[in-house]
Amino acid sequence: MEPKSLDWHAGPLVWIDCEMTGLDPRTDRIIEIAVLITNGNLEVMDEGISYIIRTDKEVLDKMGDWCQDTHGASGLTEACLDSPYTKDFVEQQVLNYIKRWIPKDRTGVLAGNSVHMDRAFLVGEMPSIVDWLHYR
């Protein structure tokens, strides 16, 4: 059964959480993204999606100590090396997922714990996602 799409009246929120190689959107990269969609009553629409992005070892080796330690201990660094998913593929899959629930652009509101930082990275690396959503 196809999910029921959410319109403006449903108040859809697109919850995005990214893991990055650091905190500078000009030089660091998104290495993992997870997305959940809720309606305005915070009812989760489904289990959401999550992707780890294939990242070159040279990029990962440039991470600062905190990222090296944290992503190394969690297994994310190794998962980035083994991932079959390119950034472009992930961007398209995330956008398709959002459009499946929210077929009209500028209807879903970008949400998240560190939404300002995640949005800064998405603008540079996955602009089609930011363009589809509403930020305020």
Decide if 3 is inside a domain.
no
pLDDT digits (tens, 9 = 90+) for 107-135: 999 999 999 999 999 999 999 999 999 97
Task: State whether residue 93 is helix, strand or coil.
Answer: helix
Is residue 51 annotated as a catalytic residue, yes or no?
A: no
Decide if 27 is inside a domain.
yes
Decide if 90 is inside a domain.
yes
Count of C-beta atoms within a 10 Å radius of residue 108: 24
Decide if 20 is inside a domain.
yes
Domain count, the chain: 1
Decide if 63 is inside a domain.
yes
Q: What is the CATH number of the domain that holds 119?
A: 3.30.420.10
- pLDDT confidence of residue 75: 98
For the whole model, what pTM was predicted? 0.95
Ramachandran bin of 38, using left for φ above 0, alpha for ψ from -120 to 50, beta for the remaining angles:
beta
Decide if 1 is inside a domain.
no
pLDDT digits (tens, 9 = 90+) for 56-84: 999 999 999 999 999 999 999 999 999 99
Decide if 89 is inside a domain.
yes
Confidence band of 51 (pLDDT split at 50, 70, 90): very high
From 51, 85, 97, 135, active-site residue: 135
What type of residue is 8?
W
**Residue 3 pLDDT > 80, yes or no?**
no
Residue 97: domain span: 8-132
Q: What mean pLDDT, rounded, does the chain reach?
A: 96
- For residues 85 and 54, the answer to whether their CB atoms sit within 8 Å is yes
Decide if 100 is inside a domain.
yes
